Structure 1
Amino acid sequence: MSGTTRSSADLDVRRRQILFRAWHRGMREMDLIMGRFADAEIADLSEEELADFEHLIEITDRDLLGWITGEIETPSNYDTPLFRRLKAFHTHTSPIHG
């Protein structure tokens, strides 16, 4: 079970792949953070935002979780408007935050 609550039937192939990858990171906490954000936002992300999200998916779970919780400073090249939306989404909707 992926955890997703959203159907991917209305999504193009790239968005389906991103949604799948967001829910299959390895660390369950990151599956929930990235997956829930993708469920809520994937259909409305611009091409630039999709590219930013794909870059975030490539980051190790430990580093990305540290950036989101504020335990590790976010490198400036990843501190994008999309990352800040992800961080705010997590802070306001998830019981898993530091």
Structure 2
Amino acid sequence: MTETLENRRKRLRFRSWHRGTQEMDLLIGSFADAHLNSFDAAQLGRFEALLDVPEPVVYDWILGRSQPPAEFDHDVLRLLLDFEYKPPTR
């Protein structure tokens, strides 16, 4: 049975908010909230692959400490690198 795009987005959103460290949960979760609904199936696949990369590696990419390998140099990672986390206002 094929997973619907809606269910896939829900699953990826959950994974985004439960990465492990609070910093990455906030960053990746907020990014997912801002972008998942506009991603097509291929972009969802690229995002899911990013979620499989260990947190410290992605964190180093975000901070510019290291460069991602060619297979991760794509539109979804560029959106993540350009993403500006804004904490909710009270």
Q: Is TM more than 0.5 here? A: yes
Which structure: greater helix fraction? 2
Residue matched to 2:58 = 64
Query: What is the identity, as a one-letter code, of the residue corresponding to 1:83?
Result: L
Unaligned runs of 5+ in 1: 1-10
After the TM superposition, which residues 4-43 of structure 1 pair with which residues of structure 2 at under 5 Å, given as runs?
12-43=6-37
Q: Does 1:76 align with 2:70?
A: yes
Which of 30, 40, 47 is matched with 1:53 structurally? 47
Number of residue pairs matched? 83
Residue identity (%): 37
The two structures have a TM-score, normalised by structure 1, of: 0.79
- Cα pair 1:33 1:94 within 8 Å, conserved: no
Root-mean-square deviation (CA, aligned residues, Å) is 1.5
Q: Secondary structure at the match of 1:25?
A: coil
Residue matched to 1:93 = 85
The separation in 2 between residues aligned to 1:55 and 1:24, in whole angstroms, is 15
Unaligned runs of 5+ in 2: none
